[in-house]
């Protein structure tokens, strides 16, 4: 592990410098050379076998984690989705975290070496902070911009490690061979405090450098020009937003040490970040019709505070093999790619589909909720996708929903029975190994690409959207001040912040029955986060920090069985919908040690002061 076996990116770079006619002094005194060193945090690679593979900040990005070789997404290891094919993600959610899985997430450069990549970018950032004042040919703005980036990257590296493996020592200097490497872990609260402080320092320097955003504001030529303004680099809006996220996580039940004070500080940080994003950054919520541009069709949007774009990808871009490929195969099932034996996909469970309320605002999370909505005439289990939150249609492919290029341009996800023989529709063809077992496919990141519609599109990862800031503020304000009292200095209550996101989605305000108290409103805030931020990597972290993991990983995963029948009053649209548990091998399992990933066995043996996580 990097804590006890240091790797020096600086040394690797300096080893090559003499061949390029560079000395160490030239590297750190010339801006172009300095950037060549520091920019490894964004694009650094490691040569493995016959390819250069990503060994950089992208390994901290939730969607990038899912775009590899069909093994996992952050949602597929929870109750949110099944993979279609039985893959290693199922072992993970079944409580069997093997050494094989751990190594793929720590050191295996052709997979997702998150742990080692994060320690690497932390080390580069520390070297940059140590040496940035030495640059001779850069003005103060350029130096402050580099400082802002270095503080940001250092914080993000620690934040990623904290969320997956628990609290770490906070490495705020580049350790050398004579320094102590076996360092005790901080408490969870202190680790997140240090992370928030670094994000705050990042904002301070971005503000000095005039980098609240990198591109010109709306209405000015160059606005949203991703390439020209190097918008893969973070900015001041993002720094404050991540500070707010870190403090929200610190206030959450898993990490809270100071009770309501932690929530108050999280609310203040979220409100500050929201105001800077709106008033200085010019951010705005997109309409529900344009919300999809956060994911495909654009490099970035006015809702984006920070986005990573993969550029234009072809319809069948396959499994991740090197830094030039990203894998749709991990998001969409084989039937879309005409691959009978691969493409595992993301298949939302009925458990998650039930989070999408009726269009009248009634919850559908439980059988009692569904019965109440049915009694009100707003929900029919045999026409279950009518009168629903519009985000259901934008996020999930349901039976008979639009499906470009397929029969009648609709998704056919059903079977029929005649004379004892079963016939499966085209999206349930049994010769495809990866078809849905839940009755659903993922739409949110899908731009209608398939073997039936061979189009290309820009594909982007929305690392932080304005919508999240409203949700972060609402959660913290509700816990600190209740649902109907603004935080000091704020002009929105928690309820009003949630309703801002719902209004954009075309949903009514949260029903008054749920806004009378902190406890009553809390489940609706959680549900709103689940829906608005679905499949963007938040759900995994949310259910951990809320300490909801035991309940969720002890639940039964449900799918929707859909049989085509003759239309009758009982089956008004000609389909019989039946909720059925997924097979036992696809269920989730709860173990207390599942809150954090284990380290590999070799690292466990090296640790003395650094107490390892339980193996599971």
Residue 574 lies in a domain: yes
CA distances from 369 to 30, 54, 468 (A): 64, 46, 26
For residue 402, tell me if it sits in a domain: yes
Mean pLDDT of the chain: 92
Specify the pLDDT at position 69.
67
Kindly state whether residue 503 falls inside one of the protein's structural domains: no
Looking at the structure of the chain, the number of domains it has is: 1
pLDDT at 509 over 90: yes
Short-list 291, 274, 298, CA closest to 503: 291
Query: What are the pLDDT digits (tens) for 130-147?
Result: 999 999 999 999 999 999
Two structure tokens written together for 611? 């107490």
Domain containing 424: what range? 315-455+557-586
Distance CA 415, CA 565 (A): 9
- Local confidence band at 386 (pLDDT 50, 70, 90 cut-offs): very high
Q: Is the confidence at residue 11, as pLDDT, over 50?
A: no
DSSP characters over 410-473: B----EEEETTEEEE-GGG-TT-TT--SSS-EE-TT--S-BTTB---EEEEEEEEEHHHHHHHH
CA distances to 7, 478, 603 from 612, rounded to whole Å, are: 20, 35, 8
State mean pLDDT over 311-318: 80
Identify any residues that bridge with 559 across adjacent strands, giving them in sequence order.
580
Instruction: Please report which confidence band the pLDDT of residue 6 belongs to, taking 50, 70 and 90 as the band edges.
Output: very low
Asked if residue 36 belongs to a domain, the reply is no
* Domain annotation covers residue 147: no
pLDDT of residue 13 exceeding 70: no
Mean pLDDT across 521-550:
98
pLDDT over 90, % of the chain: 79
Give the pLDDT band of residue 358 (cuts 50, 70, 90): very high
> Which class for 13: exposed (0-12), middle (13-18), buried (19 or more C-beta within 10 A)?
buried
Residue with tokens 């911009």: 145
Rounded Cα gap, residues 448 and 336, in angstroms: 10
- Average pLDDT of span 335-348: 90
Rounded to an integer, the average pLDDT of 235-242 is 98
Asked if the structure places residue 357 within a domain, the reply is: yes
Q: How confident is the model at residue 185, as a pLDDT?
A: 92
3-state secondary structure of 575: strand
3-state secondary structure 63-76: HHHHCCCCCCCCCC
Residue 395, pLDDT above cutoff 70: yes
What is residue 175's predicted lDDT score, i.e. its pLDDT? 74
Asked if the structure places residue 321 within a domain, the reply is yes
- DSSP class of residue 611? P
Give the count of beta carbons closer than 10 Å to the beta carbon of residue 49. Answer: 9
3-state secondary structure of 578: strand
The answer to whether position 205 is within a domain reads no
Taking only the tens place, the pLDDT of each residue in 160-214 is 999 999 999 999 987 766 677 678 899 999 999 999 999 999 999 999 999 999 9
Quick one: pLDDT at residue 14? 46
For residue 581, pLDDT over 70 is answered with yes
Q: Average of pLDDT values for 306-321? A: 78
pLDDT value of position 20: 57
C-alpha distances (whole Å) from 521 to each of 222, 354, 476, 518, 528 are 42, 18, 12, 5, 11
């Amino acid at each position: 592990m990097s804590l006890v076996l240091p790797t020096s990116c600086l040394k690797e770079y300096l080893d090559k410098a003499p061949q390029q006619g560079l000395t160490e002094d030239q590297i750190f005194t010339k801006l172009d050379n300095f950037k060549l060193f520091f920019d490894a945090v964004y694009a650094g690679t490691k040569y493995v076998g016959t390819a250069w593979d990503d060994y950089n900040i992208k390994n901290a990005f939730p969607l990038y984690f899912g775009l590899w070789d069909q093994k996992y997404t952050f949602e597929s290891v929870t109750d949110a989705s099944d993979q279609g094919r039985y893959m290693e993600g199922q072992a993970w959610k079944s409580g069997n975290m093997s050494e094989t899985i751990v190594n793929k997430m720590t050191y295996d450069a052709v997979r997702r070496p998150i742990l080692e990549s994060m320690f690497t970018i932390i080390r580069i950032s520390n070297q940059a902070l140590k040496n940035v004042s030495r640059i001779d040919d850069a003005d103060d703005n350029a130096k402050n911009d580099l400082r802002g980036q270095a503080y940001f990257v250092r914080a993000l590296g620690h934040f990623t490690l904290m969320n997956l493996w628990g609290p770490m020592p906070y490495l705020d200097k580049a350790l050398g061979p004579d320094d102590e490497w076996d360092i005790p872990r901080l408490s969870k609260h202190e680790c997140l405090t240090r992370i928030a402080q670094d994000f705050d320092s990042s904002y301070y320097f971005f503000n000095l450098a005039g980098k609240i955003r990198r591109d010109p504001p709306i209405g000015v030529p160059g606005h949203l020009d991703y390439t020209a303004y190097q918008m893969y680099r973070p900015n001041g809006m993002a720094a404050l937003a991540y500070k707010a996220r870190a403090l929200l996580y610190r206030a959450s039940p898993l990490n809270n040490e100071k009770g309501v004070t932690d929530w108050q500080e999280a609310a203040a940080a979220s409100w500050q970040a929201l105001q800077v994003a709106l008033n200085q950054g010019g951010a705005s919520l997109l309409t529900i019709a344009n919300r999809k541009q956060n994911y495909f069709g654009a490099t970035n949007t006015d809702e984006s505070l920070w986005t990573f774009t993969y550029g234009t990808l072809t319809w069948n871009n396959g499994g991740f093999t090197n830094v030039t490929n990203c894998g749709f195969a991990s998001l969409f099932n084989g039937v879309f790619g005409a691959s009978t034996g691969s493409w595992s996909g993301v298949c939302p469970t009925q458990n998650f589909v039930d989070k999408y309320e009726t269009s009248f605002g009634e919850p559908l999370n439980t059988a009692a909720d569904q019965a109440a909505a049915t009694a009100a005439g707003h929900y029919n289990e045999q026409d279950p996708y009518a009168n629903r939150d519009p985000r259901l249609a934008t996020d999930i492919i349901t039976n008979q929903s639009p499906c470009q290029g397929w029969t009648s341009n609709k998704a056919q996800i059903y079977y029929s029975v005649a004379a004892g023989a079963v016939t499966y529709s085209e999206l349930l063809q049994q010769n495809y190994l990866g078809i849905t077992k839940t009755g659903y496919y993922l739409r949110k990141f899908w731009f209608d690409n398939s073997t039936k519609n061979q189009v290309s599109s820009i594909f982007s990862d929305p690392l932080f959207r304005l919508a999240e800031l409203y949700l972060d503020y609402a959660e913290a304000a509700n816990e600190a001040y209740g649902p109907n009292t603004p935080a000091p200095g704020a002009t929105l209550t928690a309820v009003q912040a949630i309703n801002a996101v719902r209004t954009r989605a075309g949903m009514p305000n949260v029903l008054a029955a749920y806004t009378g108290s902190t406890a009553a409103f809390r489940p609706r805030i959680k549900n709103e986060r689940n829906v608005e931020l679905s499949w963007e990597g938040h759900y995994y972290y949310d259910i951990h920090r809320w300490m909801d993991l035991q309940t969720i990983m002890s639940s039964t995963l449900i799918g929707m069985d859909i049989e085509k029948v003759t239309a009758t009053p009982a089956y008004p649209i000609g389909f019989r919908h039946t909720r059925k548990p997924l097979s036992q091998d696809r269920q989730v399992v709860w173990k207390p040690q599942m809150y954090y990933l284990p380290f590999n066995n070799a690292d466990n043996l090296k640790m003395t002061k650094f107490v390892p996580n339980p193996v599971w």
